[in-house]
Amino acid sequence: MSRILLLFCFIMPSLVLSQAVRPAGTMSTTMRNGAQVNMLGVAPGGRLVTEENTKGSPFLNEDFVPGSLYLGEELAVAKIYLKYNAHKDYFLAKIDPLHGDEEAQGVTKTLNMKVKMNNDLYVALPNAENRYDIQYYQVIIEGAQMSLLKKNTKLFKEGYRATTHLTRDVPSTYSDRAIYYLRDTEGNFFEIPKSSKKTYALFKNHIKEVAATAKKYKLNTKNEADLARLVSYYNRL
Kindly list the domain boundaries of the chain, sorted by start residue. 2-191, 193-237
Report helix, strand or coil for 68.
strand
CA atoms within 13 A on the CB side of 112: 6
pLDDT of residue 137: 98
> What does pTM read for this prediction?
0.76
pLDDT at position 231? 97
Closest Cα partner for 121 from 145, 149, 90? 149
How many other CB atoms sit within 10 Å of the CB of residue 114? 19
Residues 6+ apart with CB under 8 A from 136: 84, 89, 91, 109, 115, 122, 123, 124
Spatial CA neighbour of 90 closest among 117, 130, 66 = 117
pLDDT at 52: 58
pLDDT tens, the chain, 237 aa long: 444 444 544 333 322 222 333 333 322 222 232 322 223 333 444 444 455 578 889 999 989 999 999 998 899 998 899 999 999 999 999 999 888 888 899 999 999 999 999 989 999 999 998 888 999 999 999 999 999 999 999 999 888 777 777 778 788 889 999 999 999 999 999 999 999 999 999 998 899 999 999 999 999 999 999 999 999 999 999
